[in-house]
């Protein structure tokens, strides 16, 4: 497996994998395929200004994705993880763990990681627990009237020197 941080000119790769994720795992995300299929080059390049996009590849094919998002209103040492997805054929083989490891190397100054997970996504909750995340106690209902909640998790990374 290879890990890479995409550059802005790789926007089309992030878009293709993100759309694959939305089709494959619609219940894991708030956003729907139909919401994002219309986002083109300009929209994707804008996403790259405030997000890092990490991919995992197996034999040149992208099998995992995550983004690390800097939120203006939040401290500079904090990032939100979004768009987390691993190809079903490669799940439970350490792909997401490797992506997080890569993120901690490319963002050494980040000591607080945050993620929102749906209360209905029991697998992701177990996975984040295994990766060392714990609930912050914050939650919010989705605006879609489905009754689902988003639960916030955090992971505190020790500061890295050098």
**Exactly one of 5, 31, 52, 93 binds ligand COA (CB under 6 A); which one?**
93
Residue 3, Cβ density class (10 Å: 0-12 exposed, 13-18 middle, ≥19 buried): middle
The token duo for 103 is: 């993120």
User: Binding mask 51-90 vs ligand COA (x if CB under 6 A, - otherwise)?
Assistant: ---------------------------------xxx----
Which 6-45 positions form the footprint of ligand COA (CB under 6 A)?
A: 25, 28
Structure tokens at 82: 């979004």
Nearest CA-CA partner of 75 in 131, 36, 114, 46: 114
Of the ranges 44-52, 72-80, 101-109, 127-135, which one interacts with ligand COA (CB under 6 A)? 127-135
CB nearer to ligand COA: give 13 or 95. 95
- Determine which residue in the list 96, 103, 110, 151 makes contact with ligand COA, applying CB under 6 A: 96
- Site residues (vs ligand COA, CB under 6 A): 25, 28, 84-86, 91-97, 117, 121, 123-124, 126-127, 130-131
């Amino acid at each position: 497996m290879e890990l890479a941080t995409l550059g802005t000119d790789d926007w089309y790769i992030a878009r293709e994998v993100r759309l694959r994720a939305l089709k494959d795992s619609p219940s894991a995300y708030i956003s729907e395929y139909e919401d994002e299929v219309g986002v083109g080059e300009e929209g994707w390049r804008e996403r790259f200004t405030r997000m890092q996009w990490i991919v995992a590849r197996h034999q040149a094919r992208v099998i995992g994705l995550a983004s690390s998002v800097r939120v203006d209103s939040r401290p500079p040492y904090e990032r939100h993880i979004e768009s987390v997805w691993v190809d079903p054929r490669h799940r439970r083989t350490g792909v997401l763990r490797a992506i997080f490891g890569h993120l901690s190397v490319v963002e050494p100054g980040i000591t607080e990681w945050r993620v929102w997970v749906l209360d209905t996504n029991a697998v992701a909750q177990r996975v984040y627990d295994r990766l060392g995340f714990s609930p912050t106690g914050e939650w919010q209902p989705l605006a879609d009237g489905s009754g689902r909640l988003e639960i916030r998790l955090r992971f505190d990374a020790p500061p890295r020197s050098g």
